Structure 1
Amino acid sequence: MFIWIRTLVYWVGLAFLTTFCFLLILLGCIAPHRVRHSFAQAWVKGLLWLLKHVCGLSYKVVGAENIPDTPSIICSKHQSGWETLALQAIFPPQVFVAKKELLWIPFFGWGLALLDTIAIDRSAKTKASQQIVEQGRDRIAKGYWIAVFPEGTRTPPGVAGRYQQGAARMAKAFDVPMVPVALNAGEFWPKNAFRKFPGEITVVIGKPILPQDKSSAAMTREAEEWIEARQLEIGGVGPFAHPDQRKRRPGDSQPA
Structure 2
Amino acid sequence: MVILRNLIYWLCVCVFTVVYFIYILACVPFGVKAVNRSCTGWAMAQVWMLEHIIGLKHTVKGTENIPQEPVVVCCKHQSGWETFILQKYFPPIVFVAKQELFMIPFFGWGLKMAGTIGINRKDRMGASRQLLETGGKRKSQGFSIAIFPEGTRIKPGLRGRYKLGGARIADTLQMPIVPIALNSGEFWPKNSFLKYPGSISVVIGEAIAPTGQSADVVMQKVESWIESQQRHIEGQGPCFEKPHDPQSNGQSGI
Shorter-chain TM-score bucket reads over 0.9
Q: Per-residue displacement from partner, 1:65-91 (whole Å, max 9, x unpaired)? A: 000110000000000011011111122
Q: Does 1:208 align with 2:207?
A: yes
Q: CA deviation at 1:244?
A: 5.6
**5+ residue gaps, structure 1:** 246-256
In the TM superposition, what is the alpha-carbon distance from 1:104 to its structure 2 partner?
1.6
Alignment of 1:27-46 (within 5 A): 27-46=26-45
Aligned to 1:137: 136
8 Å contact 2:157–2:234 — kept in the other structure?
Answer: yes
Structure 1 stretches of 4+ moved >4 Å: none
1:45 partner SS: helix
CA contact under 8 A between 1:75 and 1:150: conserved in structure 2?
yes
Once the two structures are TM-superposed, the CA of residue 20 in structure 1 deviates from its matched residue by 2.0
Taking every aligned residue pair, what percent have the same amino acid on both sides?
46
Within-5 A mapping of 1:161-200: 161-200=160-199
Opposite residue 31 of structure 2, the aligned amino acid is: P
State the Cα deviation string for residues 119-165 of structure 1 (Å, max 9, x = none): 11110000000000000000000000000000000000000000000
**Uncovered stretches (5+) of structure 2, i.e. residues with no partner:** 245-254
User: Match of 1:224?
Assistant: 223
In the superposition, the TM-score normalised over structure 2's length comes to 0.93
The residue that corresponds to 1:99 in the other structure is 98
Contact between 2:28 and 2:34, CA under 8 Å: does it hold in 1? no
Larger CA deviation: 78-87 vs 18-27: 18-27
* Secondary structure at the counterpart of residue 29 of structure 2: coil
User: What is the CA distance between 1:45 and its match in structure 2?
Assistant: 1.3
CA-based RMSD of the aligned residues comes to 1.2
The match for 2:249 is none
Conserved 8 A contact 2:71-2:145: yes
Shift of 1:97: 0.5
The count of residues paired between Structure 1 and Structure 2 equals 244
Are 1:21 and 1:40, in contact at CA under 8 Å, matched by a contact in 2?
Answer: no
Is the 2:158–2:243 Cα contact (8 Å) retained in structure 1?
A: no
TM-score, scaled relative to structure 1: 0.93
What is the rounded CA distance, in whole Å, between the counterparts of 1:244 and 1:134 in structure 2? 39
- Does the 8 Å CA contact 1:94/1:147 hold for their aligned counterparts? yes
